[in-house]
Amino acid sequence: MDVLHTQTTAESHQSQQRTCENCGEYVTKQFVRVFGANDGSVYGCMNCLTGRDLREGAGTQPSD
């Protein structure tokens, strides 16, 4: 597993924006860090979820 290495590389390389895995809206790296999963993905944003949902962890895993 080279997850840690990949993540470190991606973080230092990609300082720009990421997208919400749920709706495709652009989100900031900081937003992903706060509300997203540990792998750098975020499954919800202020465009498709409420702030309450995000604080409850809705952005950390795919909704199904």
Residues that bind Zn ion (CB under 5 A): 20, 22-23, 25, 45, 47-48
CB of 15 to Zn ion, least distance (A): 21
Which residues on neighbouring strands pair with residue 45, listed in sequence order?
A: none
CB of 50 to Zn ion, least distance (A): 11
Closer Cβ to Zn ion, 6 or 56, answer by number: 56
**Are residues 43 and 59 in contact, defined by beta-carbon separation less than 8 angstroms?**
yes
CB of 22 to Zn ion, least distance (A): 4
Q: Which amino acid is at 10?
A: A
**Are residues 44 and 35 in contact, defined by beta-carbon separation less than 8 angstroms?**
yes
